[in-house]
């Protein structure tokens, strides 16, 4: 994986690359310290299905540690680039369709993130105004996935992977050991592609960089691996509640763990399912028995939105046994949004907040309206 990254980005300059799995309270999927990456134990799925996070942290050795964003308003230069490179790495290792599949999943997460914040919220801008704001408050999926989508889109209009990868390597070489902002990056993009200025001028830069909500363009992704997930989602959504016997365990027999996760993610984008369908999903696919954290998270969130009471103990167990913000904050929000579990969400937080890292404790506290925001929300 490191060799693949070097092929894409140039020499790995840090000499050593080690990994350290931290206690479950760790707030993040990983932390890209030079030479030693910290990881959450939620990545230990047993089937190597969550390896893309390792690719992400490796990519940070170039974008983040070698070329750094000047401040957190330009955080996408760190995380958007790194997410883009992460998927480049796994695409070279597992095939381009898998890269596109990961991008489709990322777009789903982007939609969820914008929905959670509010489509007019300043934090949904790729380059937000963070004056007087604690950067931890603004932390979300937006700079990761909106930034990745912009780079994927630019790659598609500027000549494809072979052409764009040369630009990316030149970008890293030009700005290594420096901290830059979006204007500097954009100027270098125009300089490198001076023969394609007419194409670049057609990009709606204001909408991509400074407008809230979804990007103005959704990149065209290959849906070869996602089609099974969307087809099964469609079948469940359209099925009559008296005809759920049509579904069997064979439906997902050849699904990979990422495909099961995306199937649940696609379902979660729709209106909440009925209790009967949720119970049949669990009975048929044994979703409650799976240890993969991504699958567990999406299953719990789907069930909470459906107000299935049987999932409540599992939800509380999940948010108290690990503190990864990607999982913990959305589950707390779901518990808070359901009248029947609102008091449980608050009491669980109060009982366990001392076990959380600061970022998780502050984030969940704001989600539960127990800690005031540093800045009024726009939506």
Q: Which residues are annotated binding-site positions for Zn(2+)?
A: 56, 60, 79
- Could you give the C-alpha distances from 174 to 80, 168, 185, 331, in angstroms and in order? 18, 10, 10, 42
Q: Do 247 and 236 touch, CB atoms closer than 8 A?
A: yes
144 annotated active-site: yes
Sign of the alpha-carbon dihedral angle for 334, 336, 339, 340: positive
Residue from 32, 86, 102, 144 carrying the catalytic annotation: 144
Burial code (b: 16+ CB inside 10 Å, e: under 16) for 198-219 equals: eebeebeeeebbebbbbbeeeb
57 is catalytic: yes
Give the HSE-up count for residue 248: Cα atoms under 13 Å, Cβ half-sphere. Answer: 3
Q: How many whole angstroms separate alpha carbon 45 and alpha carbon 87?
A: 19
Q: How far apart are CA 319 and CA 300, in angstroms?
A: 10
Calculate the CA 64 to chain-centre distance.
Answer: 17
**Which tokens sit at 42?**
């939620």
Conformation bin of residue 346: beta by default, left when phi > 0, alpha when psi is -120 to 50: alpha
Least Cα distance to 66 among 89, 38, 99, 34 occurs for: 34
Cβ 129 vs Cβ 65: under 8 Å: no
User: How far does Cα 172 stand from its chain's mean position?
Assistant: 23
Q: Which residues sit in the known binding site?
A: 56, 60, 79
CA distances (Å), 98 to each of 90, 110, 224, in order?
A: 7, 18, 9
- Beta-bridged to residue 38, according to DSSP, are 20, 31
Backbone dihedral angles phi then psi of residue 22, each to the nearest 5 degrees:
-90, 170
Q: Which of 32, 57, 73, 145 is catalytic?
A: 57
Distance CA 263, CA 355 (A): 32
Active site residues: 57, 144
């Amino acid at each position: 994986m490191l060799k693949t990254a070097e092929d894409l980005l140039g020499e790995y300059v840090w000499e050593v690359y080690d990994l350290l799995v931290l206690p479950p309270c760790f707030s993040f999927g990983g932390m890209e310290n030079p030479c030693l990456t910290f990881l959450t134990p939620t990545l230990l799925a047993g089937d190597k299905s969550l390896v893309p996070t390792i690719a992400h942290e490796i990519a940070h050795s170039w974008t983040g540690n070698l070329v750094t964003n000047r401040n957190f308003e330009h955080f996408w230069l760190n995380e958007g680039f790194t997410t883009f490179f992460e998927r480049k790495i796994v695409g070279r290792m597992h095939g381009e369709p898998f890269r596109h599949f990961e991008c489709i999943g990322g777009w789903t997460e982007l939609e969820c993130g914008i929905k959670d914040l509010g489509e007019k919220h300043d934090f949904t801008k790729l380059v937000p105004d963070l004056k007087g704001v604690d950067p931890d408050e603004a932390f979300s999926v937006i700079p990761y996935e909106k930034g990745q989508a912009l780079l994927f889109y630019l790659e598609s209009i500027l000549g494809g992977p072979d052409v764009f990868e040369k630009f990316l390597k030149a970008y890293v070489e030009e700005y290594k050991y420096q901290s830059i902002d979006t204007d500097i990056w954009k100027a270098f993009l125009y300089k490198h592609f001076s023969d394609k200025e007419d194409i670049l001028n057609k990009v709606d830069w204001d909408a991509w960089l400074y407008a809230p909500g979804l990007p103005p363009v959704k990149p065209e992704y290959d849906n070869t691996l996602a089609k099974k997930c969307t087809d099964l989602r469609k079948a469940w959504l359209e099925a009559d509640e008296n005809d759920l016997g049509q579904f069997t365990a064979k439906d997902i027999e050849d699904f990979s763990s990422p495909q099961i996760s995306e199937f649940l993610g696609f379902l979660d984008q729709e209106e909440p399912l009925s209790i009967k369908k949720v119970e049949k999903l669990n009975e048929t696919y044994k979703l409650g028995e799976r240890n993969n954290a991504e699958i567990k998270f999406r299953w719990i969130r789907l069930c909470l939105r459906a107000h299935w009471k049987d999932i409540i103990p599992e939800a509380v167990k999940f948010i108290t046994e690990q503190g990864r913000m990607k999982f913990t904050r959305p589950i707390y929000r779901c518990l808070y949004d359901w009248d029947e579990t609102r008091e449980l969400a608050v009491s669980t937080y109060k009982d366990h907040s001392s076990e959380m890292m600061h970022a998780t404790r502050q984030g969940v506290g704001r989600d539960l309206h127990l800690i005031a925001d540093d800045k009024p929300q726009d939506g």
